[in-house]
A and B are shown apart, each in its own frame.
Chain A
Amino acid sequence: MKKLVISVVLVNFLAACASHPPAETSAPAAENAAPVAATAPAASAAVAVDPLNDPASILAGRSVYYPFDVSTVQEADKPLVQAHGKYLAEHADRKVRLEGNCDERGSNEYNLALGQRRADGVKKMLELSGAKAAQLESVSYGEEKPRASAHEEAAWSQNRRTDLNYSK
């Protein structure tokens, strides 16, 4: 298991130049997020923290990032998407909205389409990891709701992303 952690971290570093923004990278996977046991006496099963709410879990990562004009999920983000897919497979009541975004370097309509392609790509990968179609919705905001608005790569790289937005 330890080996896996290291390789995940290394891959993250290598991919940093290509697709990851300077801020907001999720922490490397903490293997075996220990469930918090309830102190109820003789409980048959410990009450576990929903991994979705665990800041140390890989699932705390809710954004997938892309190089310019690319809509396929990058290697570095595959573990994240697969983990979410697995989570959704195990929690059939959970629904998630995939929201694709782009940087400003295109027409507004082309960027809307590219954002949709990004969101659809994450949706497909989630389904391959076990999520059901009914749990998933994919939409696009194109360049209309940027996270950062300067005319530079530091902003653009933050905007080229798909967000996984779980409904409450």
Chain B
Amino acid sequence: MRFLRHGLAAVLLAYSSLAAAVLEIEIVGAGENQIPIALVPFGGDEKLAAEINGIVAADLQRSGLFRLVDPAGKSPHEPGEVNYADWQVRGADALSIGQAGVLADGRIEVQFRLLDAVKQIDLGGHAVSAAKGQVRAVGHRIADLIYEKLTGDRGVFSTRIVYVNRLDSRYKLIVADSDGYNEQVLLSLNEPIMSPAWSPDGSHLAYVSFENGHAAVYVQSLYTRQRKLIANFEGSNSAPAWSPDGALMAVVLTRDGSSQIYLVRPDGSNLRRMTFSGAIDTEPHFSPDGQHLLFASDRGGSVQIYRMAVSGGPAERMTFGGGNNYSPRYRHDGKVFVFTHRENGRFYIATQDFQTGQMELLTAGGWEKKPSYAPNGKLILYASEGRGRGILATVSSDGRVKQNMFTQSGDAREPVWGPLP
């Protein structure tokens, strides 16, 4: 369990999103080496520039890897206008400058440049444009480019998440930007919804709905909104997971007597049974190379994580030691998996390295469940509790930076991070 060494005060950012839902993000902790960066508001359209600046600043701050330096009165927009001494004195290692404007047809166009204030070199310029009204997308793209240039890793600011909101007995399946904005309600029911799963290309969601009186699996297109009921056998049909090539899914069915794992095509055809334990086998997740499945099973007497080949065969136990383990998910590089660990009545988010078998707890323990990696492997999204209700939270993969997201009223549950766009 990591404690937060730098004692950075919680930063509260409260906004109203376009959908008029109140969103609040609370960040605690800081990365080991934060990059000090000055984001100089772009020249051109002042209002647009201020809005973009706010989005980029929030994104970079949320990653925990950047410390924002106040430009304090200096506003260069071109490289020729930059006096590096100004920025060294302010302690900035990097600064971004540029221009932002709206064309006659409403299209947004930005040119920006990143500069290394220490080495005093131009790190390169970018042009980012988007359709009318897509300011947030522009801001996220800029944040991605800055993040990638300065950390060497892919940015995930342009990704989306899915989660379930429960308020009294109303359940909604919601897709939102990874910062919680732009909520789109995909499904709204008076019966539970659970276990959403992104198709690898982000075009479809599989999920479990109880609208037929029991758990059944649907696959729905995010573009057409059309959906197909793909598993509706006797008992419970649940835990959908997609293979990395999108051609195959794993599901859990009780049709043959206990919760077992099956493979099926995304249209519901070609059902093939994978596990034959007679115990509870559930929560399958495909490896990035599509060759293996991690899953949770109580076949050994307590719920633990196992791995088996997609081609079939015996399962290998992965988690040992005290406690129970659930909800395994591979990291994108296949070297680590994240899961829920329960011990002494508390739920933790934990990771385990395949090579060393070493388990590490990333959170302080409470009601922390259902972790999923961001597609760059640097952040983990999970369900937590805050202010007496279910909320979404993220933790950095080293455990140092935590973020709580307070979205619309009700309980937020079952979050899953979406793929790179």
Contact = CB atoms under 8 A, between A and B. Distances in A.
B235 A108 contact: no
B145 interface: no
A116 B369 contact: no
B303 A109 contact: no
Contacts of A104: 367
A112 B340 contact: no
A140 B303 contact: no
B215 A139 contact: yes
A139 B232 CA distance: 12
Contact of A141 (B192, B252, B254, B282): B192
Interface in B197-225: 208, 210, 213-215
Given A117-B280, A140-B236, A151-B367, A109 B214 contact: no
A77 interface: no
A109 B303 CA distance: 12
Chain B contact surface mostly: strand
Interface in B151-205: 192, 194-195
Contacts of A151: 367
A112 B296 contact: no
B235 A138 contact: yes
A116 B327 contact: no
Interface in B259-289: 259, 280, 282-283
Contact of A116 (B208, B236, B283): B236
B304 to A, nearest CB: 11
Given A116-B259, A139-B213, A144-B210, A109 B327 contact: yes
A106 interface: yes
A116 to B, nearest CB: 5
B235 A109 contact: no
A110 B192 CA distance: 16
Given A117-B280, A151-B367, A109 B238 contact: yes
Interface string B355-378: 000000000000101100000000
Contact of A108 (B234, B280, B303, B414): B414
Contacts of B257: 120
Given A113-B282, A120-B235, A144-B210, A108 B215 contact: no
Nearest to A123: B235
A70 B164 CA distance: 28
A145 interface: yes
B213 A109 contact: no
B225 to A, nearest CB: 24
B393 interface: no
Contacts of A106: 303, 324, 326, 342
Contact of B283 (A105, A109, A114): A109
Contact of A107 (B213, B235, B369): B369
B415 to A, nearest CB: 12
Contacts of A107: 282-283, 296, 326-327, 340, 369-370
B283 to A, nearest CB: 5
A109 B252 contact: yes
B48 interface: no
A151 B239 CA distance: 25
Contacts of A142: 194, 215
B148 to A, nearest CB: 34
Interface string B386-417: 00000000000000000000000000011000
B210 A114 contact: no
A110 B326 contact: yes
Nearest to B327: A107
B194 A141 contact: no
22 contacts: A97-B213, A104-B367, A107-B327, A107-B370, A108-B370, A108-B413, A109-B239, A109-B326, A110-B280, A110-B282, A112-B215, A112-B236, A113-B236, A113-B252, A115-B236, A116-B259, A117-B258, A120-B258, A137-B234, A139-B213, A139-B235, A140-B235
Given A107-B282, A108-B370, A108-B414, 18 more contacts: A106-B324, A107-B340, A107-B369, A107-B370, A108-B369, A108-B413, A109-B239, A109-B282, A109-B296, A110-B298, A113-B258, A113-B280, A117-B258, A139-B236, A140-B214, A141-B210, A142-B215, A144-B210
